[in-house]
Copies of this chain bind each other. A is one copy, B any other.
Amino acid sequence: MDLNQVYTLIQPGLNSVEAEFRRLIDSQQDFPEMQRMLQQILVGGKMVRPTLTLLAGSLYSYRKERHQAMAASSEFMHIATLVHDDAIDSADMRRGRPTINFVWGVDLAILLGDFLFAHAGETAANTGSIRAVKIFSRTLGVIARGEIKQAFSAFKLPQSYEQYIERIAAKTAALFTLATESGAVLSDAPEEAVQILSDYGYNLGIAFQIVDDILDYIGTEAEVGKPVGADLAQGTVTLPAMKIVERYPHDNPIDKIIAREDIAVNIQRALEIVRGSSIIDECYQEAAKYTQRATANLLNLPAKPAREALYCLADYVLLRKI
């Protein structure tokens, strides 16, 4: 199965998520500024999280209304976190478009993010499942707590590998886990299947974020939609940077960036070291370890097209360029 076939499988569900976007925008007709902000941010991205919810939900009793609500909810939550992230990072661009904070300022970005969190919660409640709502709220808490931890560790000494994984687990894998776990729960999957799909989401999320962190070093700005080396510029040490420190423990650009010495020059040096070494390969191997874990138990799930799609997505995560 290739990626196009995956999308064909769940296209009606993804269309319903976009319909939810439009419905929210249309509901604000008495408030044009609000509509403009929502139009700016509610644009169909890769829709990875809804895709996961819809696929996980297709393995047992797929229930259109519930699963579509949950798929939309996870994307609303994702977008809300991006709005706040961009406000915190003072990011100007996201997905090639100006951010909310860039156009309307940080204050409105805070409030629009809150509004979207609320709407995500309401949409989750529309599933009618308290369990899904609990997973939803808990996930939002894990994400926020993880970012608070990250804020306290920026521009600090390189973290351990375990701390890195803990950080990206909160930043990315938590919401992937929400997506697959809630999809499973809403389809009344047996508990072992819920666990397998939850683990799939977690491990896929870790792999996805490792690749994201790789792309921060080797992607082009046009592809990634933000400047290369943006993580380092914010003092965020990711896997490639950790591998530089490992190789050059006594003299390396990462320690200097952390000490805020010639940040721009040292980011360039870091990018050069990474590109001229096997560091990227090693990071991809690390990501592949997690996609293997993600798919390790899928054979215990029903042999449906959605299961093939989950294998396909795991492959895709390692190949993606954007």
Contact = CB atoms under 8 A, between A and B. Distances in A.
- Please give the count of copies of this chain that the complex contains: 2
B88 A111 contact: yes
A84 B84 CA distance: 11
Given A31-B149, A84-B111, A111-B84, A118 B138 contact: yes
Interface string A140-176: 1101110111011000000000000000000000000
B114 A84 contact: yes
Contacts of A112: 144, 148
A133 interface: yes
A108 interface: yes
Contacts of A7: none
Contact of A114 (B111, B117, B121, B128): B117
A221 interface: no
Label chain A's interface by main secondary structure: helix
Interface residues of A, number: 43
A207 B300 CA distance: 60
A33 B152 contact: yes
A304 interface: no
Given A118-B144, A121-B133, A133-B130, A110 B138 contact: no
B144 A111 contact: yes
Interface of A: 31, 33-34, 37, 84, 87-88, 106-108, 110-115, 117-119, 121-122, 124-126, 128-130, 133-134, 136-141, 143-145, 147-149, 151-152
